[in-house]
Chains A and B, each alone.
Chain A
Amino acid sequence: MNTKMVEMTVGAFMVAGFLALVYLAFNLGEVGLFDRGRTYEIQAEFDNVSGVKKGATVQVAGVIVGEVSGIRLNDDQLAELTLKLDRTLKVPTDSIASVKSQGIIGDKFIQITLGGALDHFEERDVIFDTESAIDIESLISKFAFGSAQ
């Protein structure tokens, strides 16, 4: 009887250990099974997102409020980013999403400038007002060679 009790306890610990391992694996792998309730996703369309990588941060006033969870080319041949945002952040519908870089050649991130509209973007809504990545090279060439005429 006593041995059976011991075996049961060991078994229970084994199961608990496995569950903890699974949780750890999901969390480290950023599968996001456990933060579904804490975040929501909205889309944003850009003409150009060159330099933005999956996992790039989304910031409001320099504070990280989410990340880029998907990048794809949509049916209109525009870059469509999926932004995974903290659920506590309400984004008014007149907000503007911009591609910004940390310093001149630093990592790219998405900055949301919050607007003042009374209604907010819901899950799966698309931000229309966006600013694309500024192409420094083409700007330099415009200034350097454009004025040569």
Chain B
Amino acid sequence: MKVLHLFLAVFLVAAVPSFTPASEIGPTEQLRPTIDKVIEILVDDSLKGKENKEERRSRIMEVVTIGFDFREMSRRVLGATWHDISADQQDYFVTQMTKLLENVYIGKLETYSGQAVDFVAERVKGKRAQVTTIVEHQGQNLPIHYIMQREQDRWLVYDINIEGVSLIRNYMEQFRSILRQESFEGLLKIIEEKNQSFADNDEPA
């Protein structure tokens, strides 16, 4: 009888930790809270309007950086050049690229007006996953695919594909021709200028 108890105890101890390891949380479950929180901020009346822009953006970025891998995005858009630049340059490029995506895409997000976001499909292949959401836009369904990669136990978004067009490839192709003509410093300057122009536009007239 004692032996049986011992066996049972060993079995339980061995079995318990495997019940809910973080890696079992699927990509959709990982992404959903991020999207929900962003929507929550976007529809929050106390954060609306131009005067609350900074507060709103920083809150959104706080949420988004948890679910999105901006370093991976930056690495991918830069292609082979990523390996030619120093670690400091990489870090700086990531901050500038993040800023650019924030300016371009969060600006777009701010036109959001309470449409429902449906999670319709999920596809996992090894360390990669694609989560498909449908957003209703002006009476039409717009499919948005989030391409994710597993980093340790978490699924992080590294590309967004809207209507068959990939965000990463879009930038990758544009950057490639800039890199060929103007090298990395030139590209960095262009991104900095672009970010600056966004900042200037925000200045109250």
Contacts and interface: CB of A to CB of B under 8 A. Distances in A.
A7 interface: no
Contact of B166 (A129, A142, A146, A149): A129
A115 B166 contact: no
B166 A131 contact: yes
A139 B163 contact: yes
A113 B173 contact: yes
Contact of A116 (B81, B140, B164): B81
B34 interface: no
B80 A116 contact: yes
B18 to A, nearest CB: 27
B83 A115 contact: no
Contacts of A147: 138
Given A115-B76, A116-B81, A128-B125, A96 B166 contact: yes
B79 A115 contact: yes
Q: Determine the main DSSP class of B at the interface with A.
A: mixed
A89 to B, nearest CB: 14
B147 interface: yes
Interface string A126-144: 1011011111000101100
B57 interface: no
Contacts of A139: 163
B128 interface: yes
A147 B139 CA distance: 8
Interface string A15-30: 0000000000000000
Given A115-B79, A118-B83, A131 B159 contact: no
B123 A134 contact: no
A12 B188 CA distance: 69
Contacts of B96: none
Contacts of A128: 125, 128, 130, 147
Interface in A101-138: 113-116, 118, 126, 128-129, 131-135
A37 to B, nearest CB: 27
A114 B159 CA distance: 15
Given A98-B166, A132-B164, 5 more contacts: A47-B164, A96-B172, A116-B81, A129-B159, A131-B161
Interface of A: 45, 47-48, 76, 78, 92, 94, 96, 98, 113-116, 118, 126, 128-129, 131-135, 139, 141-142, 145-147, 149
24 contacts: A48-B164, A78-B123, A92-B80, A96-B166, A98-B169, A113-B169, A113-B173, A115-B172, A116-B78, A116-B79, A118-B83, A126-B125, A129-B166, A131-B165, A131-B166, A131-B169, A133-B164, A134-B163, A134-B164, A139-B163, A142-B140, A145-B140, A147-B138, A149-B139
Interface of B: 75-76, 78-83, 123, 125, 128, 130, 137-140, 142, 147, 159, 161, 163-166, 168-169, 172-173
